[in-house]
Structure 1
């Protein structure tokens, strides 16, 4: 019955993709759903931006090991990002009437900045998508007994298919449906486990001192730096990303875009607390399920200690979360590749041709992500690296460009390249004790101001 439900559920996504394909007339329909989403639909699709594998599997594993301090980055940083986008960025971007995030760099800093931002942005998505594919592969491994690689390939081809057909319309409609299943499934599972325990109090009392503290683990210079990094990696690093841009900009007007993003932020943190406490109750009820790979704690609990009804609800919720995140994450870099890298070389390119190129880019992005998913297996690290990538390269040029009139193209390109380069050296080559993300951010900020003053018009 569970397998039948999973197969039926996955088939519905393909049907929605086919239905959405009938609404695609031009590139704006495919990339931004024709800018026609209502507040409810826009908030739901924005909420689903990152509610995926790291929220359902990665963060709960970190939470039961390290407490609140271990999950500042996700989900708290992610919720912060959505709220900040609504308060400080959504209205300005909506008024620009642009197709991709990188179009902003073209308007503000010129064609070179547009190209560099696109080249920097696209690779940052591969790790993010790979994390979702690994999660889906893991789910299919638990339920079907299939090898992880088989699950990765099948889930990737499924998401690619319905995204390819309906673009942002597919993403929006399926996200709305997925989120309903997700919230219902998590709420019911939470209350079932709470009833078995006899209330949440025994679990809270058993937790170590300081487990629920938001304070830094250490008040040393390094401890404070690591704490700040946890907040800003996703909290600021995911602001300059195409997936959140597409979801917010698909709103029917600028007021809806602002409200949807803020509402999504508060909805995110509310719902994201559920898998954290579900994992904590799972550890309390069945400590024998604890293992080296604790991302499997909740799936194993559900499979071994719940009835078929709860299994259907939970795995429906998990699949919903992962599919929602993956589809938008695949569409985002594909849109940038077509609009900001290929199109500038063909200024007279007809809109129908651009739409074909973006659809072909969906295929390229999917296969690049499959390769990364096959090479790397740590969901939490993949997500963190993806957000750090954009934090050190794109956040400063975006924000300074919006709020400092003297910022110029030289400073913008320098901030992107030097920030990214310094982060890569400190993260992959020398592995400094001081957070590489902060080093890259400081270098990016300094490069922006120095570059803008060196080449002043």
Structure 2
């Protein structure tokens, strides 16, 4: 890169650090720190949700899949967007207005406090693993762009994320999300996509230089597409970092509309990145590390200044998602575990300090895991296998099946979590079978244990939960 591009990237990092200080001034209370005061309008809220789709793992991963499979590479991000759309259309009227902070808190209301504790631990592991994927992505970009050692790149990039997340919480996440959303949208659709196509001679030239399978949306295979559905569509519905963004919306209408719009945007974004990956195959046919497809293509086609801005924005995308998931993980641990058991009467100011301390610990662990795994898609598969395999069924049946009991909810999470972890250990981190095993185990456990432990009459807790849900539906229209 030129000196100008390197300067742009470094200046971008400085801006993110400044955002941390600005966020720190806004994050005065626990609700400010975790949920940005529950006061975001449609545009900012849409930017926050779209930033999840625009995340670095999505950008790097889709370009890589486009390089390997062509248009079929869209399914990774498309399934993420589908999950957010389903969340908006089906579940937001259940969860918005419940005045909760985490998915585990809602599970605790539906089942019992033990379920809240266990689901918080499982969801915290998931969100931390998503942070790991983003730190790997940050290291990949910095390594490809600046030529720094991969480990050093992850340490520096992850350290910046950790710094501004600790300071500003959700306010910092929100501000970086908006910066990322605007620049990545402009960068991909006004620069990267048209310049990639121009570099290879246009769409007609691309179709003549690539095999026909690259223009088949199902070329990666229905089995792989279905696995993406299990991993990402189901995972998005019960993802704490997504729920935490949902709770920042000012109204139910904003929460629902923003989720649907973000889901629709995902298809367009996935299509653009897949085409960029296909262009990279023509321009860079002998690329050894396909995880560097996006960065290498940017280095190949973009002029000085624009190159630095685009690569900096990709780092920002990674950092934004990493900060959101780090915050989600620390919120689960602080709000659903420590605050419930020790110390119970902590002041709001001290609780914000405790949340920042836990964020520091989670961030350090995430950076260590990133250095160990060093593969974005493998780490992401592990994260969603844990979430979808262990949490999805108890959440959905808790809303839709009144006969689900507290004992069934608790033991379903215990059993399916053990199955997922055991399957990952036996079949390897890259296997997606564990999520199928986990979901099947969870369904069987929920149904069998609910009927075995079914009381003669519904418990007061279940009745209260159902009454609250019906009341919220009336309020929300």
Please give the range of the TM-score, normalised by the shorter of the 2 chains: over 0.9
* Aligned twin of 2:330: 334
Question: After the TM superposition, which of the residue ranges 173-182 and 63-72 deviates more from structure 2?
Answer: 63-72
* Aligned twin of 1:376: 373
* Aligned twin of 1:162: 164
Map 1:54-453 → 2, pairs under 5 A? 54-69=57-72, 71-72=74-75, 74-187=76-189, 188-215=191-218, 224=223, 226-288=224-286, 290-291=287-288, 293-345=289-341, 346-430=343-427, 435-453=433-451
Alpha-carbon displacement from aligned partner over 1:206-239 (angstroms, at most 9, x marks no partner): 3333434344766xxxx65x54222121110232
* Aligned twin of 2:459: none
Shift of residue 335 of structure 1?
0.5
Alpha-carbon displacement from aligned partner over 1:272-320 (angstroms, at most 9, x marks no partner): 32222112112212324x21x1111231232245421331232033112
Instruction: Give 5+ residue unaligned stretches, structure 1.
Output: none
CA distance change for structure 1 residues 16 and 204 in 2, over 3 Å: closer, same or farther? same
Would the aligned equivalents of 2:54 and 2:184 in 1 still touch at CA under 8 Å? no
The TM-score with structure 1 as length reference comes to: 0.93
Would the aligned equivalents of 1:334 and 1:361 in 2 still touch at CA under 8 Å? yes
Q: Matches of 1:46 and 1:305 in 2, distance apart?
A: 29
Would the aligned equivalents of 1:90 and 1:249 in 2 still touch at CA under 8 Å? no
Alpha-carbon displacement from aligned partner over 1:342-368 (angstroms, at most 9, x marks no partner): 011133222222211111111011011
Q: Does 1:37 align with 2:40?
A: yes
Instruction: Give 5+ residue unaligned stretches, structure 2.
Output: 456-477
Q: Matches of 1:342 and 1:433 in 2, distance apart?
A: 33
Would the aligned equivalents of 1:185 and 1:316 in 2 still touch at CA under 8 Å? no
* Aligned twin of 2:467: none
Would the aligned equivalents of 1:102 and 1:117 in 2 still touch at CA under 8 Å? yes
Q: Matches of 1:119 and 1:189 in 2, distance apart?
A: 40
The TM-score with structure 2 as length reference comes to: 0.90
Indicate the RMSD between aligned Cα atoms, in angstroms: 2.0
Shift of residue 378 of structure 1?
1.2
Shift of residue 127 of structure 1?
2.4
Q: Matches of 1:42 and 1:297 in 2, distance apart?
A: 30
Q: Does 1:9 align with 2:5?
A: no
Would the aligned equivalents of 1:234 and 1:388 in 2 still touch at CA under 8 Å? no
CA distance change for structure 1 residues 206 and 262 in 2, over 3 Å: closer, same or farther? same
